[in-house]
Amino acid sequence: MDFDFSDDQESLRDAVRRWVDKGFTFDRRHALAKAGGATRAVYAELAELGLTGLVVPEAHGGLGQGAIDAMVVSEELGRGLVNAPYTYAALMAPRLLAVAPEALQAQWLPTMASGEAMVVPALQERASRYQLAHVTTRAVQTASGWQLDGRKTVVPAGDEADAFIVPARISGADNDEAGIALFLVERRAVQVTGYPTQDGARAADVTLKASAGALITANGHAVLEDAVDAGIAAQCAEAVGLMDKLVAVTVDYMNTRKQFGSTLAGFQALRHRIADVKMQLELGRSMSYFASLKMGAPTEQRRRAISQARVQLGSSMRFVGQQCIQLHGGIACTDEYIASHYFKRLTMLEMSLGDTLHHLAEVSNRMQDTAGVFA
């Protein structure tokens, strides 16, 4: 039982934080968002720091680090409001490729680790919401290899990526867990329609029409669950970084802004609100630790823990985000001011990889089947 970070993890945190402080100021972030949310140049800078290969095995040119290191990096990227698709490209994609045939791994992982290649999962379909088993994209084997047909939407950094990891159905009905295969599909094989996102990054619709794909695995569902759990753990950490910074900004403002002859910090209604905000932040931080620490647990335990963490972080993100806007007043509603950008990211994050109600249902349904969380 130990919640201290190792010296290496502290150095990793410092390195990311130094880059954010110097290289990713809010002015830069604001300008990027205004110009459409491009992230590839930012991703290349993360690559220079060695972060894109953080969890890629050493044999494929990565650093082979684990969930806690990913958590440390994600928290700092959150604090800096870094808009690159780090969770998807650097943390989830290598995990999905880990079950691919060796040749496919050797073809992609080294360039993914170095950041030359950006590969993102393309999971979302029009009607799938947060159900990983809902896959209507179909794949068939032809003489020239696998061909995929279907459409994915709001694919993170979809018009900047070099390739996609695409779940496609090779058998079964639209909602079956069995029959979902994973494919690596290159950008040139699909049609991409990009757009900016509400939170200052980019996404795209990816249309597959007899698109060629390389088979990663024919048993994709469990792998998807595992990678999504890793993504959720990272996003929990990102949320903690976002909230930490937003609270700090809010506290500064409360100590400066005067109304009725007093700083905002002088009003008890607002003091109690910031205490409640602090509560949600620290409950969130505690459960972010819990999520990453449980990533190595047996599947059932891991899934339950991830959903529990996500429920807490969902509540925390909503409360901290919304109340920090309220505590500021009008200024925080402007595009010019930093708080609104953190709030928008927190809001969108709450609906990524399963929202709070989705994960509450997961916790609730799993609860039925067990003697109890502490059994």
Partner 1 sequence: MDLNFTSEELAFRQQIRHWVAENLPADISHKVRYALRLSRDDLQRWAKILGKKGWLGWGWPERFGGPGWNAIQKHLFEEECALACAPRVIPFGPVMVAPVIMAFGNAEQQQRFLPGIASGEVWWSQGYSEPGSGSDLASLKCKAERQGDKYIVNGQKTWTTLGQFGEWIFCLVRTSNEGKPQTGISFLLIDMKSPGVTVRPIVLMDGEPEVNEVWFDNVEVPAENLIGEENKGWTYAKHLLAHERTNIADVNRAKRELERLKRIAKAEGVYDDARFRDQIALLEVDVVALEMMVLRVLSAEKNGKQSLDVAGLLKIRGSEIQQRYSELMMQAAGPLSRARIDEAMEAGWQGDLAMPAPLLPLAGTFFNMRKTTIYGGSNEVQRNIVAQTVLGA
Nearer to partner 1, 166 or 305 (CB): 305
d(C-alpha 123, C-alpha 139), whole Å:
15
From residue 46 to residue 75, the character string flagging contacts with partner 1 as x (rule: CB under 8 A) and all else as - is: ----------------------x-------
Candidate ranges 10-18, 229-237, 284-292, 322-330; the one touching partner 1 (CB under 8 A)? 284-292
308 binds partner 1 (CB under 8 A): yes
- Give yes or no for residue 271 binding partner 1 (CB under 8 A): yes
Of 282, 300, 329, 333, which lies in the binding site for partner 1, with binding defined by CB under 8 A?
A: 282
Total residues at interface with partner 1 (CB under 8 A): 44
Q: CB of 121 within 8 A of CB of 86?
A: no
Residues 6 or more apart whose CB falls under 8 angstroms from that of 237 comprise: 70, 71, 72, 74, 75, 78, 288, 291, 292
Contacts 24+ apart (CB under 8 A), 323-329: 323/273, 323/276, 323/277, 324/246, 324/247, 324/249, 324/250, 324/277, 326/273, 327/250, 327/253, 327/254, 327/264, 327/270, 327/273, 327/274, 327/277, 328/250, 328/253, 328/257, 329/257
Q: Give yes or no for residue 268 binding partner 1 (CB under 8 A).
A: yes
Q: Which stretch binds partner 1 (CB under 8 A): 21-29, 168-176, 305-313, 327-335?
A: 305-313
Backbone angles phi, psi at 81, to 5 degrees: 55, 45
CB of 14 to partner 1, least distance (A): 17
261 touching partner 1, by CB under 8 A: no
Exposed/middle/buried for residue 21 (C-beta within 10 Å: 0-12, 13-18, 19+): exposed
Instruction: Write the interaction track for partner 1 spanning residues 329-368; mark x where CB under 8 A is met and - where it is not.
Output: -------------------------------xx-xx--xx
How big is the CA angle at 159 (ends 158 and 165), to the nearest 5 degrees? 35
What does the block give as tokens for 197? 């996102």
14 binds partner 1 (CB under 8 A): no
Residue 77 binds partner 1 (CB under 8 A): no
Out of 48, 276, 300, 335, name the contact with partner 1 by CB under 8 A. 276
* The two structure tokens encoding residue 62: 């990565």
Please identify which residue in 289, 337, 342, 343 interacts with partner 1, judged by CB under 8 A.
Answer: 289
Which residues would be at the binding site for partner 1 (CB under 8 A)?
1-6, 9, 68, 247, 251, 254-255, 265, 268, 271-272, 274-276, 278-279, 282-283, 286-287, 289-290, 292-294, 308, 311-312, 360-361, 363-364, 367-368, 371-375
